[in-house]
Amino acid sequence: MARAFCEQCGFIEKRCICDALIPKFENAIHLLVLRDKSETNHAKNTACLLPLVFSNTTIIDGDAKTIAEELKQINLENSAILYPSQSALILDDTKSAPQKINTLIILDGSWKKAFKLYMSVQTLQTLPCVSFKTVPQNLYRIRSTELSYSLSSFEASVYAIECLEKVQLTGHVSFFQKFIEKQIQLMPESLHSRYQGKP
């Protein structure tokens, strides 16, 4: 029997998060998410949340070859990749922050998948990278990572827009926290104690 999906948020009905939705932020900077195809239907993927709360967002799914072809159709002038390369400009440091970004590219997937995509798509290597000097606490406690500075795609995108557009997106943070709580509630009860109250 096919699973029923919510027409508004796109999640299966038992994971519907419409009750937590907030008005979309009209972001001037285009968020372009390049998502590894293996992440598309992953229950813990957070990139799918971005179009729900940011008006100017595009997600491209696929392997490196597919994404490379899609990028040929996109104007990448004044684009940058959110990726911690050694030469990355620092978004939360006014002394080294980039002057102008029209499109911010997010590589969605594990660190290993993001690195592989970056190295496999030559176009990406021609673009400047941006990163953070300091990052907010990682809220996504149900992910399998022990790195407190390792943000989910949603968290990284929110913080980047805050830095670039000089805004405070507290509503987006609250929305994400509600999403996490919803995920935990749907887990087997035996796992609740593992994640409840975890920073």
Q: What angle do CA 182, 31, 123 make, to 5 degrees?
A: 125
pLDDT, tens digit, for every residue of 59-91?
999 999 999 999 999 999 999 999 988 899 999
* pLDDT attached to residue 199: 47
pLDDT, tens digit, for every residue of 148-186?
446 889 999 999 999 999 999 999 999 999 998 888 787
* pLDDT attached to residue 159: 95
d(CA 132, CA 101): 15
Domains, the chain, in order of start with CATH, read 25-183 (3.40.1280)
pTM for the predicted model, two decimal places: 0.86
Going from the C-alpha of 58 to that of each of 74, 89, 174, 199, the distances in angstroms are 11, 23, 22, 30
Q: Is 75 exposed, middle or buried (0-12, 13-18, 19+ CB in 10 A)?
A: exposed
Question: Would you tell me how many other CB atoms lie within 10 Å of the CB of residue 192?
Answer: 12
